[in-house]
Amino acid sequence: MSVEPDIIVSGAGASGLAAAIALARAGFSVVCAGVSDTTPNGRTVALFEGSLRHLTAMGVWSRFEADAQPIRAIRIVDDTGVTIPVPPLTLEAREIGLPALGANVENDKLVAGLLAEAQSLPSIRLTGANLSDIAFEDGRVVARDASGPISARLLVAADGKKSPARLAAGIGARAWRYKQVALTALLSHRKPHDGMSVEFHTRGGPCTLVPLRPTADHPHRSSLVWLMDPHEAERRLALSDNALAIELQHQTRSVVGRIAFGQARGHFPMGGLKVSRLVGPRVALMGEAAHAFPPLAAQGLNLSLRDLAELVTTLVAARDAGIDIGSLEALRPYERARRRDIALRTSGVDVLNRSIMTDFAPVDAARGVGAVALRLVGPLRRAIMREGILPPGPQMPLGPIIPSVPTA
């Protein structure tokens, strides 16, 4: 028996599950194909206020709100050893009239909450397996999972940088690598973080402590994302937890006091990705299938949720106008709406990352002038904060939830 939803979502990580939920709440039937990993991995997701509003509109924020730590301020410290020191820059939520800039939540708890919400919606069918044999034919997209064939009017690719759905659609991508590795971990520490994320810019890349919710055993916790040269990463990964904690305390100037590592440390290479287009006949790309870059300025999932809000808005408008949701006529407005934002943020993160790593006086001077301008010019600082934390764009449109996924 063939399953025939309106939309197939390829990918069941945070982006794919969020896509399935938002589309279901907009009145579409959805098959979400992929494996959801809820294993603790030492990684967290910083969600800005705009993303929290999207998740609230989707009805899912309450699933992990209790596990999320509000981020009330971000402090940026230049530790590159420049000749003329750059003063630290602090960005506070109260400056733009918000109680918090966003919230930090452990990745496994985020995915578990999204998975529970998706399982509760009758118009979502979760396959628990990846798609195979993806093909585009006769005005439909067809594929298979472990239980049999699936046919839909549209395929949403939310299946990561190596997206099989993007490959099947013949959409080109350019990927690149940075000479950096990110070391990630969950930490406990002696001093309170006071809801402040602290980012130390070093020649190897940023070293960032992001506040986490306390637990019964650890009243003061943060997550770590530490970018560094691959050789330094290899050396540090070989250290004991205690030895690495001493190095990290030195790097972070003991801002949170004595540090202890929690669960197993993680690491992954840094890279970026751009695609030739965001849509094709019967397919739309979002999340890391459409863009990827290093974890600076916490843009990753926040950018993916903006993709999703625009995509759902576009599909609802097409449906209401009687336009086939998988046609290029329906999908091109999504491409036009997202292309500029994705390009600007991808380029911005790339330039910032390379400028931190580059030991070249004019680049250091330009970065220093920018930091001083943000520190001294309040209107400019607040405008930049609003653009990063609460950028303009559509909110998730909601509609009636249909009772089940149709079959044929």
CATH number, residue 117: 3.50.50.60
pLDDT value for 408 = 55
Q: Specify the pairing of strand 7-10 against strand 30-33.
A: parallel
Q: Specify the pairing of strand 89-92 against strand 73-78.
A: antiparallel
pLDDT value for 294 = 81
The total of structural domains in the chain comes to: 1
pLDDT digits (tens, 9 = 90+) for 151-199: 999 999 999 999 999 999 999 999 999 999 999 999 999 999 999 999 9
pLDDT digits (tens, 9 = 90+) for 267-305: 999 999 999 999 999 999 999 999 998 877 667 899 999
Q: Cα dist. 6→315, 364, 367 in Å? A: 11, 51, 48
pLDDT in tens, the chain (408 residues): 568 999 999 999 999 999 999 999 999 999 999 999 999 888 999 999 999 999 999 999 999 999 999 999 999 998 877 767 788 999 999 999 999 999 999 999 999 999 999 999 999 999 999 999 999 988 899 999 878 899 999 999 999 999 999 999 999 999 999 999 999 999 999 999 999 999 999 888 899 999 999 999 999 999 999 999 999 999 999 999 999 999 999 999 999 999 999 877 899 999 999 999 999 999 999 999 999 988 776 678 999 999 999 999 999 999 999 999 999 999 999 999 999 999 988 888 887 777 777 665 666 667 767 777 777 777 888 998 898 888 888 877 776 666 666 665
In a domain, residue 92? The reply is yes
Cα–Cα distance between 116 and 119 in angstroms, integer?
5
In a domain, residue 144? The reply is yes
Q: What is the pTM of this model?
A: 0.93
In a domain, residue 215? The reply is no
In a domain, residue 153? The reply is yes
Cα–Cα distance between 1 and 20 in angstroms, integer?
22
In a domain, residue 93? The reply is yes
In a domain, residue 403? The reply is no
Give residue 133's domain range. 7-175+271-389
In order, the DSSP letters of 241-283 are HHHHHHHHHHHTTTTT-SEEE-S--EEEEEEEEEES-SEETTE
Strand partners, 273: 175, 292
User: How many other CB atoms sit within 10 Å of the CB of residue 269?
Assistant: 12
Residue 182 makes CB contacts below 8 A (sequence gap 6+) with: 205, 225, 226, 227, 267, 268, 269, 270, 294, 295
8-state DSSP, 322: T
pLDDT value for 25 = 96
In a domain, residue 355? The reply is yes
Q: What is the CA radius of gyration of the chain?
A: 22
In a domain, residue 325? The reply is yes
Q: Cα dist. 280→19, 270, 323 in Å? A: 18, 28, 16
Strand partners, 261: 187
pLDDT value for 109 = 96
